[in-house]
């Protein structure tokens, strides 16, 4: 492996650990009744922010309550992140191309699966509503945006990565760059 | 003919001249950009809070300055059916006294707690004049935290004034009365022999703010009107204005206005406190209530205490001196340096300004003009810094800015007069509409006044607003005092009667605001933290309903098995933990108020059913989109009936039998 690759992969592996300690994603909500805004933070192992208040409000439209224990992700995710970080560091340290490619593929799969899971999760909460809910707007669903802004009744929902998410995106970018670089090297050598 | 015409023309011109001399009206007094100066755009905040006494309303009102917008009325000494204060079981003890439950008070003066002679924005002290009491309000919640009754006192007018580090709050009595431990069933005409004045020093705990009477000074029988703490050079002293040194007990308007001079009583409170520490006080039997509200238990307790420590002023040396002051002084105000003491004689034609250093020198040299009832009387000329000549009619109160100026209110001539404390020269005078009592400069009673604004608190409004029948509002008038001339900006009506007020920078208070009460910290005796624990418990004819509210239902909202003759107690916990989400609670026909329950709070409301039948109950505070659905029913059966006690909400509501 190229020495630059090794350094970048090492950095990517180390940066991934940040996602263990700070929130990965955030959903910012505003409404006329909440000029001060409400926040929901998604960590690797929990939810934080105004969870209780958001749950209280969601009962009007029949949305399920958000509870940490309902998500297997919050148990598994920290281990996956640790594993990804360690393999990255190891690949950089032992200078084994096989391990590096394994890391890149593992990371890519993880990314795809996470994005799909997150989407399904948002879809489920936005669509799977209690039929006895007090407020029912025909044809209305409440799926928050995965990224970006969406108006949901009186609430504006703004969904963006948080610090941990940016760290993971950074690591993914490094993984992509190093992968392309290494593939090119390979071609040259042949 | 011509001559006659001339005469008529001259006469008409003369009339026109007199018409032109008619005094200017109120609208002339406002300059062009006044509106701009008081305009606080929607969504913007005022720069200052004005905590304004409610007078005979018994409450304290909070205005934003400079906009004059009423922000809130805080229940203190009067029952408040709007919130349930003094009606609910857990706040009733706040209004307990040695006379039993008193539902009303007369609230005159306010004092924000101070550190180093400046506002610290922690607590607000409020007096009650009629049944002597002092309250402490917590400025993180804007609620009454404590009320302490003052024994041996009547008409707690010279109160509450704080020392420069809030060591003490004082309470001087307006009426002298016999002390409680003496023979009190005596002829009123024995006033001079048997009545006494009392000045109470309330110690304030520097951490919790808790009040306790440290000692009372027993004095000759005069009326104490107002007081101020010394500051800077005069720190450690207190100055009390007195009137009725004639010792009249009837027709005071004449009989208490005979002497050319009454007194300002100067008290070395540090020395008095020292004597108390040395055990020089005498324990005296006296009954008084001490009511404390606990913000975790969301309940008040009332304790009747039975003893105070008394120092007889006649036995003390070097503690108390009389400064002669013309005539029936109302305000006794101390300038920011602490050197000058301004006496405002209600009936005097000048304002005397006394010098603290001259007073100390006279005391040192023992230059006294004899004594009054055993208290040394200082020589007027010796301690006088000077007099403000012809300031106006009926001076009442004086406040100060940071530039060495004083502002005095005049009731009779209805004006505010600005004058220089050192030179005693009048700088400006502006009319007020009408008859100003107190006035307040932002920080005007501290070592470092903020200046900028002055508010005159007026007793008479007559033609100032749209008429509202015989009873008219009283008013506040806001002046810009940042320039040489005072500039009238705004006037606005007030609740009750505004006496004194404290104008405090919002920055001292805003950051300390509580948004909700943490439900995990709730230790109310009847708290329910989970809807599953709501229940109805019968014990003889007492029924306890453990209830919760959350958007948008009451639990339980169906209750059966209540019988005539029952005493029902609703213990309601608001489970919300979100800002600005109180729920209200009311029961049809309840001979009681409603309750307003803040997020995380528990409150108890008593209800004695009056009719057999179905009684609705509901949330009274428009809490959310489904507020109109937040309701329930109670079934009241005849006395002795065997309707089973059943209750619940939704699936758990009692089903058909």
Cβ contacts of B551 on chain A, cutoff 8 Å: 56, 59-60
Cα separation, B272 vs B266, in Å, equals 12
**B354 and B488 fall within a common domain:** yes
- Put simply, the answer to whether A56 touches B551 (Cβ < 8 Å) is yes
Q: Are residues B327 and B472 in the same domain?
A: yes
Q: A73-94 and A97-127 helices cross at what angle (nearest 10)?
A: 160
Q: How many helices (H) and strands (E) does chain B have?
A: 7, 45
Torsion of CA B375, B380, B381, B382, to 10 degrees: 30
What's the confidence (pLDDT) of residue B364?
96
Instruction: Say if residue B498 is in the same domain as residue B588.
Output: no
- Residue of B578, B626, B649 to mutate when probing chain A, most A C-beta within 10 A: B578
Domain final residue pick, B492, B512, B532:
B512
Q: Domain coordinates of chain A in residue numbers?
A: 3-182
Structural domain boundaries enclosing B389: 48-512
Percent of chain B topping pLDDT 70: 96
* Residue whose tokens read 């230059």: B367
Please tell me what DSSP assigns to residue B654.
Answer: P
Beta carbons of A56 and B579 less than 8 Å apart: no
User: How sure is the predictor about B154, in pLDDT bands with cuts at 50, 70 and 90?
Assistant: very high
A32 lies within 8 A of chain B by CB: no
**CA B495 centroid distance within chain:** 13
- Is A52 an interface residue toward B (CB < 8 Å)? yes
pLDDT at A1 over 50: yes
**Mean pLDDT of all residues in B156-168:** 97
Tell me which chain A residues have a C-beta less than 8 angstroms from the C-beta of B531.
none
Residue B14 has pLDDT above 80, yes or no: no
Q: Residues B438, B350: one domain?
A: yes
Q: Of B512, B531, B552, which closes a domain?
A: B512
* List of chain A residues whose C-beta atoms are within 8 Å of the C-beta of residue B529: none
**A59 neighbourhood in chain B, CB within 8 Å:** 551
C-alpha distance from B537 to closest chain A C-alpha (Å): 28
- CB atoms B578 and A134 under 8 Å: no
Chain A residues lying within 8 Å of B629, measured CB to CB: 134
d(CA B71, CA B69): 6
Q: What is the pLDDT of residues B175-210, one digit of tens each?
A: 999 999 999 999 999 999 999 999 999 999 999 999
Q: Residue B576 pLDDT more than 70?
A: yes
pLDDT at A189 over 70: no
**∠ CA B54-B503-B85, rounded to 5°:** 35
Instruction: Please give, rounded to a whole number of angstroms, the shortest distance from the CA of B578 to a CA of chain A.
Output: 6
ipTM: 0.81
Do residues B477 and B539 both lie within one domain? no
Mean pLDDT of the region B227-253: 96
CATH number at residue B265: 2.130.10.10
| Residue B19 confidence (pLDDT) | 47
Flag whether B3 is in a domain.
no
Among candidates A56, A59, A60 on the partner chain, residue whose Cβ is nearest the Cβ of B578: A56
Do residues B318 and B433 share a domain? yes
Tracing tokens 């090119």 back to the chain, one arrives at A184
Q: What is the pLDDT of residues B482-500, one digit of tens each?
A: 999 999 999 999 999 999 9
State the virtual CA torsion across B518, B521, B527, B532 in degrees, nearest 10: 70
When pLDDT is cut at 50, 70 and 90, the band that residue A4 belongs to is confident
**3-state secondary structure (DSSP) of residue B306:** strand
- Provide, as residue numbers in chain A, all residues whose Cβ is less than 8 Å from the Cβ of B44: none
Q: Does A56 contact chain B (CB < 8 Å)?
A: yes
Say how far apart CA B649 and CA A102 lie, in whole Å.
Answer: 57
Residue A190 contacts by C-beta under 8 Å, 6 or more apart in sequence? none
Task: Say which DSSP state B205 is in.
Answer: -
**Cβ contacts of B576 on chain A, cutoff 8 Å:** 56
Please tell me the distance from the alpha carbon of residue A64 to that of residue A60, in angstroms, as a whole number. 10
Statement to judge: residues B508 and B572 lie in one domain: no
pLDDT for the residue numbered B73: 98
Residues B595 and B573 in one domain: yes
C-beta atoms of B629 and A53 within 8 A? no
Q: Which of A52, A53, A60 sits opposite B625 (nearest CB)?
A: A60
Counted residue by residue, chain B has a size of 657
Task: Determine the pLDDT at residue A177.
Answer: 92
Q: Are A134 and B550 in contact (CB < 8 Å)?
A: no
Residue B35 covered by a domain: no
Work out how many domains chain B is built from and give that number. Answer: 2
Q: What tokens appear for A80 in the block? A: 């996956």
Residues B507-523, buried b or exposed e (16+ Cβ, 10 A)? Answer: ebbeeeeeebbebeebe
Report the residue of chain A nearest B578, measured CA to CA. A53
Contact A56 B629 (CB under 8 A): no
Interface list for chain B against chain A, based on CB atoms closer than 8 Å: 550-552, 576-579, 624-626, 629
What is the model's pLDDT at position B20? 46
DSSP string, B568-637: EEEEEEE---STT--EEEEETT-SS--EEE-TT-EEEEEE---SSEEEEEE--S--STTGGG-EEEEEEE
| C-alpha pair distances (Å), B511 with each of A81, B41, B139, B140 | 39, 21, 11, 9
pLDDT in the model for residue B32: 77
Domain end, chosen from B482, B512, B542, is at B512
pLDDT band for B581, please (50, 70, 90 cuts): very high
Instruction: List the single residue in A with minimal CA-CA distance to B43.
Output: A35
Query: Looking at the DSSP assignment, which residues form a beta bridge with residue B203?
Result: B168, B212
Query: HEC profile for chain A?
Result: CCHHHHHHHHHHHHHHCHHHHCCCEEEEEEECCEEEEEEEEECCCCEEECHHHHHHHHCCCCCCCCCHHHCCHHHHHHHHHHHHHHHHHHHHHHCCHHHHHHHHHHHHHHHHHHHHHHHHHHHHHHHCCCCCCCCCCCCCCCCCCCCEEEEECCEEEEEEECHHHHHHHHHHHHHHHHHHHHHHHHHHHC
C-alpha distance from B648 to closest chain A C-alpha (Å): 19
CB contact under 8 A, A135 and B579: no
How far apart CA A87 and CA A106 sit, in angstroms, is 10
Mutation pick from B625, B629, B650 vs chain A, by most beta carbons of A within 10 Å, is B625
Average pLDDT over residues B37-45: 96
Residue contact A60–B578, C-beta within 8 A: no
Confidence check: pLDDT of B429 > 80: yes
Task: Show residues of chain A in contact with B552, CB under 8 Å.
Answer: 134
Pairing of strands B646-648, B96-97: unpaired
Mean residue pLDDT of chain A comes to 91
Cβ within 8 Å, pair A36-B577? no
Q: Is residue B16 part of a domain?
A: no
User: Does the CB of A37 have a partner CB in chain B at under 8 Å?
Assistant: no
Percent of chain B with pLDDT over 90: 93
B78 and B141 part of one domain: yes
Q: For residue B1, name the pLDDT band (cuts at 50, 70, 90).
A: very low
Q: Answer whether A69 touches B (CB < 8 Å).
A: no
- Give the Cα separation of B75 and B91 in Å (integer): 11
Q: Which residues in chain B touch residue A61, judged by CB atoms under 8 angstroms apart?
A: none
State the CATH number of the domain containing residue B615.
Answer: 2.60.40.420
User: Which chain A residues are Cβ-neighbours of B578 within 8 angstroms?
Assistant: 53, 56
CA–CA distance, A14 with A19 (Å, rounded to integer): 10
Per-residue confidence band for B4, with pLDDT thresholds at 50, 70 and 90 = low
CB contact under 8 A, A56 and B550: yes
Residues B252 and B169 in one domain: yes
* Shortest distance, CA A129 to any CA of chain B (angstroms): 18
- CB atoms B625 and A135 under 8 Å: yes
For residue B29, being part of any structural domain is answered with no
Mean pLDDT score, B321-347: 95
Using an 8 Å CB-CB cutoff, list chain B residues near A56. 550-551, 576, 578
Question: In terms of C-beta density within 10 A (0-12 exposed, 13-18 middle, 19 or more buried), how is residue B130 classed?
Answer: middle
Pairwise CB contact (< 8 Å): A135 & B551: no
Residue numbers in B near A135 (CB within 8 A): 625
Q: How confident is the model at residue B566 (pLDDT cuts 50, 70, 90)?
A: very high
**B596 and B499 housed in the same domain:** no
Please provide the average confidence, as pLDDT, over all residues in chain B: 95
Chain A CB contacts of B516 below 8 Å? none
């Amino acid at each position: 492996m190229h020495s630059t690759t090794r350094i970048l992969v090492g950095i990517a592996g180390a940066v991934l650990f940040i996602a263990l300690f700070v929130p990965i994603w955030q959903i910012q909500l505003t409404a006329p009744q909440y000029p001060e805004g409400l926040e929901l933070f998604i960590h690797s192992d929990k939810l934080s922010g105004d969870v209780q208040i958001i749950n209280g409000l969601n009962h009007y439209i029949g949305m399920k309550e958000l509870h940490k224990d309902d998500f297997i992700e919050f148990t598994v995710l920290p281990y996956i992140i640790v594993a990804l970080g360690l393999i990255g560091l190891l690949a950089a340290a032992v200078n084994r191309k096989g391990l590096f490619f394994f890391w890149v593929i593992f990371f890519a799969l993880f990314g795809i699966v996470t994005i799909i899971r997150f989407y399904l999760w948002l879809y489920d909460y936005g669509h799977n509503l209690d039929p006895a809910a007090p407020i029912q707007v025909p044809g209305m669903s409440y799926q928050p945006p995965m990224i970006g802004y969406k108006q949901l009744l009186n609430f504006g929902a703004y969904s963006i990565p948080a610090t941990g998410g940016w760290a993971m995106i950074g690591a993914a970018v490094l993984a992509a760059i190093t992968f392309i670089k290494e593939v090119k090297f390979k071609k040259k050598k042949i | 003919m011509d001559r006659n015409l001339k005469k008529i023309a001259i006469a008409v011109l003369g009339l026109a001249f007199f018409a032109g001399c008619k005094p200017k009206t109120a609208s002339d007094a406002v300059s062009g950009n006044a509106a701009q100066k008081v305009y606080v755009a929607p969504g913007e905040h005022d720069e200052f809070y004005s905590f304004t006494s409610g007078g005979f309303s018994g409450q304290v009102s909070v205005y934003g300055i400079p906009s004059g917008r009423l922000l809130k009325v805080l229940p203190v000494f009067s029952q408040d059916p709007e919130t349930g204060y003094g009606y609910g079981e857990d706040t009733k003890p706040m209004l307990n006294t040695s006379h039993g439950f008193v539902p009303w008070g007369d609230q005159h003066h306010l004092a924000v707690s101070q550190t180093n002679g400046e506002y610290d924005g922690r607590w607000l002290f409020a007096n009650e004049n009629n049944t002597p009491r002092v309250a402490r309000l917590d400025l993180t919640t804007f609620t009454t935290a404590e009320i302490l009754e003052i024994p041996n006192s009547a008409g707690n007018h010279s109160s509450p004034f704080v020392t420069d580090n809030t060591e003490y709050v004082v309470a001087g009595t307006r009426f002298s009365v016999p002390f409680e431990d003496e023979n009190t069933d005596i002829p009123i005409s024995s006033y001079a022999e048997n009545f006494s004045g009392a000045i109470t020093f309330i110690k304030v705990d520097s951490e919790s703010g808790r009040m306790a009477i440290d000692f009372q000074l027993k004095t000759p029988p005069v009326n104490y009107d107002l007081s101020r703490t010394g500051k800077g050079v005069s720190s450690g002293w207190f100055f009390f204005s007195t009137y009725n040194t004639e010792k009249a007990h009837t027709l005071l308007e004449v009989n208490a206005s005979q002497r050319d001079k009454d007194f300002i009583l100067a008290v070395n409170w540090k020395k008095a406190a020292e004597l108390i520490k040395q055990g020089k006080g005498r324990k005296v039997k006296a009954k008084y209530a001490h009511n404390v509200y606990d913000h975790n238990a969301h309940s008040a307790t009332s304790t009747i205490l039975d003893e105070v420590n008394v120092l007889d002023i006649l036995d003390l040396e070097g503690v108390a001196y009389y400064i002669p002051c013309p005539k029936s002084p109302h305000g006794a105000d101390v300038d920011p340096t602490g050197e000058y003491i301004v006496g405002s004689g209600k009936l005097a034609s000048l304002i005397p300004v006394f010098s603290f250093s001259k007073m100390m020198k006279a005391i040192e040299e023992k230059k006294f003009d004899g004594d009054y009832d055993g208290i040394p009387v200082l020589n007027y000329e010796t301690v006088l810094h000077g007099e403000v000549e012809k300031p106006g009619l009926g001076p009442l109160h004086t406040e100060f800015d940071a530039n060495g100026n004083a502002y005095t209110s005049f009731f009779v001539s209805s004006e505010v007069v600005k004058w220089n404390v050192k030179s005693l020269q009048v700088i400006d005078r502006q009319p007020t509409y009408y008859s100003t009592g107190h006035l307040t400069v932002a920080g005007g009673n501290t070592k470092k006044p903020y200046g900028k604004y002055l508010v005159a608190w007026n007793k008479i409004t007559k033609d100032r607003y749209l008429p509202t029948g015989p009873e008219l509002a009283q008013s506040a008038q806001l002046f810009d005092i940042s320039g040489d001339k005072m500039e009238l900006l705004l006037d606005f009506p007030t609740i009750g009667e505004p006496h004194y007020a404290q104008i405090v920078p919002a920055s001292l208070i805003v950051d300390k605001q509580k948004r909700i009460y943490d439900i995990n910290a709730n230790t109310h005796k009847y708290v329910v933290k989970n809807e599953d624990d709501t229940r109805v418990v019968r014990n003889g004819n007492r029924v306890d309903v453990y209830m919760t509210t959350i958007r948008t239902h009451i639990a339980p909202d169906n209750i059966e098995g209540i019988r005539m003759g029952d005493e029902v107690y609703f213990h309601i916990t608001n489970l919300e933990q979100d800002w600005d989400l109180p729920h209200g609670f009311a029961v049809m026909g309840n001979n009681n108020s409603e309750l307003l329950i803040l997020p995380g709070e528990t409150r108890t409301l008593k209800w004695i059913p009056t009719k057999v039948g179905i009684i609705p109950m509901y949330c009274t505070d428009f809490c959310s989109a489904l507020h109109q659905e937040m309701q329930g029913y109670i079934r009241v059966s005849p006395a002795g009936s065997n309707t089973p006690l059943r209750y619940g909400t939704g699936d758990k509501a009692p089903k058909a039998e």
